[in-house]
Amino acid sequence: MSTGPRRPLRDLPGMGTTSSLGPGFRALYAGALVSNIGDGIRLAALPLLATSLTTSPFLIATVTAAQYLAWLTFGPFGGAVVDRSERRRIILTTQAWRGLLMAGLAILVWSGHTQIWHVCVVAFAITLGEILVDPSTVALVPTLVEDVDLDRANGRIASVEIVTNDFAGGPVGSVLYAFAPWLPFVIDACSYLGSLLPFGGLPRQPRRAPRREEGAPTLRADASEGFRWLRRHRVLAPFTLSQVIYYFGSAAGFSLLVVFVIDELDASPIAFGILLAVGAGGAFVGSLCGSQVSSVVGTRATLSGCVALQGATLVAVAVAPSLLVVAVLWFVNGVPAGLQIPVARSMQQRLTPNRLLGRVNVTTRIFTRGIIVFGALGAGVLATATSTRWSFAVGGLVQLAAAIVMWTVLARLEE
């Protein structure tokens, strides 16, 4: 049974070179920076918009569920599209229509005609674009940098996502929403459209031969190939299962954080944005340390330890007496959340053939993002029946269980 090329998992990033990661990576990095600026603002503004339309924790949680439902419906074909097509063109086309979609939402909010189902539809549609853009980015990185620089390159992409999505986007999005509810969505539309310029600097990939001949694999067959390969992999398959458990627990935290801050702690929308920034600050610190930590303690201890620490902090948040204590815990929670991103991403890239990387990445996310639908809805039901504190406590316990599973399955890396 073949599991793809086995490459060293403990190479120090940057050992092979101290030079720039190259113009192609710079274009990818700059495009991600511009695009994620608006994303971060929208991620803060969208739940605030939902809370202005309904007081039901369950309905607010459906916005998160709708966002990740896209992975269960379109996800199986997204990876096949990424691996069949020129990834640069996919990114440019998708960013263009995402920008137009957000402009439409801004008009609805400005005119005062927004309903909760509008928010759910937009959240769903934006994630459709994410299913195409994010795997394209992941698949492009190994073609733009050397293998020894993967951790460093992934760390930079992860850090820009964290800084713009949460650290800067959280407080800016909440302040802009308080000033004018439609303004955050205008800026998000501009960021999508503005990213077209740097993304346009990506090198053109060789055209793939058209598959029109009789007997050529269909889109469904290509998607199935990625799923079968992942299912048979002795490391990535059980690791994905452990991530499914982890994300189920995570759903309680980020789907109901806005309710917890505004209703349970009686804080303002701006405080919610600041809390997002605090967590992102921790995640940014973690994203810069991932390769160093994994080189010292190994991939297994790094990833399972990060999940365990996040679970413990979620349980602590459930009993936190004040916003200040929650802020400290959210920073601590953010450090391992950011630290594990480049480590897990590099592991997947090293163990997966590039021709399958888009499909394998999407297949993984179908399960890890799809479970968030059920986790968010479950957290909403639990919070409605009891309180948001109980949803955080249960989510943390689930993550602690995920850490145990992850520690067990990643022992195969050392065999």
Domains and CATH numbers, the chain: 23-197+218-414 (1.20.1250.20)
Tens of each residue's pLDDT in the chain, 415 residues: 344 444 444 333 333 333 477 888 889 989 988 888 888 788 778 888 988 888 887 888 888 788 878 877 887 777 778 777 888 899 999 999 999 999 999 999 999 888 999 999 998 999 888 888 888 887 888 888 877 777 778 778 777 776 676 566 667 778 888 889 999 999 999 999 999 999 998 888 765 544 444 445 666 777 778 788 988 998 999 999 999 999 999 887 777 888 888 888 888 878 887 887 788 788 888 877 777 888 888 889 999 999 999 999 999 999 998 999 999 999 999 899 888 888 888 888 888 887 787 778 778 888 888 788 888 888 888 888 888 899 999 999 999 999 999 999 999 877 6
Tokens of 327: 């802020």
Q: Are 16 and 146 in contact (CB under 8 A)?
A: yes
Report pLDDT for 355: 79
User: Can you tell me the distance from the alpha carbon of 277 to that of 228, in angstroms, rounded to the nearest whole number?
Assistant: 39
Three-state secondary structure of the chain:
CCCCCCCCCCCCCCCCCCCCCCHHHHHHHHHHHHHHHHHHHHHHHHHHHHHHHCCCHHHHHHHHHHHHHHHHHCHHHHHHHHHHCCHHHHHHHHHHHHHHHHHHHHHHHHHCCCCHHHHHHHHHHHHHHHHHHHHHHHHHHHHHCCHHHHHHHHHHHHHHHHHHHHHHHHHHHHHHHHHCCCHHHHHHHHHHHHCHHHHCCCCCCCCCCCCCCCCCCCHHHHHHHHHHHHHHCCCHHHHHHHHHHHHHHHHHHHHHHHHHHHHHCCCCHHHHHHHHHHHHHHHHHHHHHHHHHHHHHCHHHHHHHHHHHHHHHHHHHHCCCCHHHHHHHHHHHHHHHHHHHHHHHHHHHHHCCHHHHHHHHHHHHHHHHHHHHHHHHHHHHHHHHCCHHHHHHHHHHHHHHHHHHHHHHHHHHHC
Encoding tokens for residue 379?
């957290």
Which structure tokens are listed for 205? Answer: 């990939």
pLDDT at 219: 66
pLDDT for the residue numbered 367: 87
Q: What pLDDT score was predicted for residue 311?
A: 96
